[in-house]
Amino acid sequence: MVIAGTICTSPKWPFEQRLLEISTGLRRIMGEHAPEFAAVEEVFHSANAKTALKLAHVRGVALLAIAEAGLKLAEYSPLEVKVSVVGYGRAEKCQVQMMVQSLLHLPEPIRSEDAADALAVAICHATHEAASRLLA
């Protein structure tokens, strides 16, 4: 693990300002760390359509920043991520956090569920990439 965290915005800000903050933060992080790949979670179904739509907007901003940076992109379903990290596709958030801690040999769990989820996607991608190289 090189870095983990969240890009925080204020719920008081207009939505477009929050998207801009996320975009700016992603570009800054990609510029500082020059990753070779980007991995994101696919859109999931949510009982709350309004929340799912907002998350889709944020995902679109992330995909645009990734494309602008010229990174290779991999996408994984929430099920794929959980199976890859926990071994069970219906794992709870706390189980994902605990396995991320264990797999990365961290002294304590990542406090932010969002950061733990992002690390889980990265672990899933690393696992898939390693398997692809072995098969090639």
Residue 29, amino acid: I
Q: Look at residue 72 and tell me whether its pLDDT is greater than 90.
A: yes
Average pLDDT over residues 33-55: 88
pLDDT at 3 over 90: yes
Taking residues 106-122, report their average pLDDT.
95
Is the pTM higher than 0.75? The answer reads yes
Residue 27, helix vs strand vs coil = helix
Across the range 34-51, mean pLDDT stands at: 87
Q: The domain 11-76: what is its CATH number?
A: 3.30.420.10
**SS3 of 6, please?**
coil
Please enumerate in sequence order all residues whose Cβ is within 8 A of that of 124, keeping only pairs 6 or more positions apart, or say none.
39, 76, 80, 81, 84, 85
Residue closest to 84 by CA, chosen among 41, 132, 127:
127
Q: What is the mean pLDDT of the chain?
A: 94
Average pLDDT for 6-27: 97
Q: Where in the chain is the domain with CATH 3.30.420.10?
A: 11-76, 79-136
State in words which class domain 79-136 has: alpha beta
Mean pLDDT value of segment 116-129: 96
Judged against a pLDDT cut of 90, whether residue 132 lies above it is answered with no
Based on the number of CB atoms within 10 Å of its own CB, is 45 exposed (0-12), middle (13-18) or buried (19 or more)?
exposed
